[in-house]
Structure 1
Amino acid sequence: MDLITYRKLKESGYKKPNLTTVIHDPEMILGMYLESLSLPENELNILWNQQMFDFIVTNLRETFIRIEKLSRTKGIKFRIVVELSEDNKWFLKSITYCEVRQTDAVPENLQLIDTKIYLQPVIEPDGNGISKILWSNSVDLVNQKQNQFDKLWKTATPTQ
């Protein structure tokens, strides 16, 4: 995605142009990922595998806590499905606003923003960064991923 397309998306509230793209630029990756966490108006749904969860806790913990508080303030429905381990239970207990469920396997990392935007971060093999992001506002793809999230949500176990 180039800067002009990014500006057009941002100006339109991420509605236009209709786009599915892979973002490789490191600065744009971090910007789009962090912005996506604060963008929701109604709902934020997240799937994190263990590697992504570890990355968030290690590198973006304070940002995540701010996003949780922002979601509470805005009244956003905030749900996360994670691969739970003994190592991450302490952090999950500190999350008080969003609903968290656990499962044995998360097939992919994704974020769904207001059932309008789909974002899939891909973690570096060493777990120390996001190497690329698949970003889409395609209605069909967003609906497909929302259905995937909803099915996993129903089968996952509440953590608290």
Structure 2
Amino acid sequence: MNSDPALAIGDMQRLLHNMIRVGTIHSVDHGGPGKPALVRVSLGELVTDWRPYHEARAGGTTTWNPPTVGEQATVLSPSGDLGAAVVIVGLNSTGKPAPSNDPNKTITKYPDGAVIEYDHAAHALLAMLPGGGTAKLVAPGSVTIDSPQVTMTG
């Protein structure tokens, strides 16, 4: 902070302004062995340094679903210092809307057109692959299909 009161107020305003910012993913570093995945976020004219982003899970259960360039994100810097910020990804926007507005469905859509959808009201699971897609189920023990009716088409 600056010792001049007017400049100190300006510094405090800047830090306060930087505590929570919304921007878009500028670039993604997918990391590697021993190196975390990081993102840079565009905040208007400013582009952050490489910062960590929140993944859905990172404990005993882990997930890998890296953000994409152009995805809207929230930058959180509790101290107001963007150099110490973390990024929360996954904000829907006009350009990247949610795949549904049905509260009964959980849907994941992939860039190639594949869709995994579960409708908990209808108890229905849908896995849809694009043309040329393949599916593989690996089970070192056994596979059981327990249904009163199984339909296979080809």
TM-score (norm 2): 0.22
Structure 1 or 2: more helix by fraction: 1
Which structure has the larger Rg? 2
